[in-house]
Amino acid sequence: PDTIVYGNRPAGIVTVTSDDPGTPPVGAVTVFLDGQQVAQGRVDADGRFAFELTFAPGGGSYTLSAQFDPDDDRVRPSTDSRALTVTP
């Protein structure tokens, strides 16, 4: 799990990869904190989307997840998540 200190805003980079190295992923990423949308944007030419929350969550354990929605109908959407712990 990732850990941050209380009072700090979580930030990260979502990286989307393609099974075909010659075809970069194109689409949008939505980031969720415990199921609530906290960021959204398009991946860059390298398949990355950088984000920083606009608030600092309280102390405790959370699930941070990202969903990729491709522009190409031949590509399936994907989701991944990880634990986030905010320490006092």
- On whether the CB atoms of residues 13 and 48 are closer than 8 A, the answer is yes
pLDDT of amino acid 1: 60
Distance CA 86, CA 5 (A): 6
Read off the pTM. Answer: 0.90
pLDDT at 73: 84
Residue type, 78: S
The reported pLDDT for the residue numbered 59 is 95
Element holding 30 (H helix, E strand): strand 27-33
Write the CA distances from 43 to 49, 66, 69, 70, 77, integer angstroms.
Answer: 5, 12, 10, 10, 13
What integer pLDDT is reported at residue 32 of this predicted model? 97
Residues 31-82 have pLDDT tens digits of 999 999 999 999 999 999 999 999 999 999 999 999 999 998 878 899 999 9
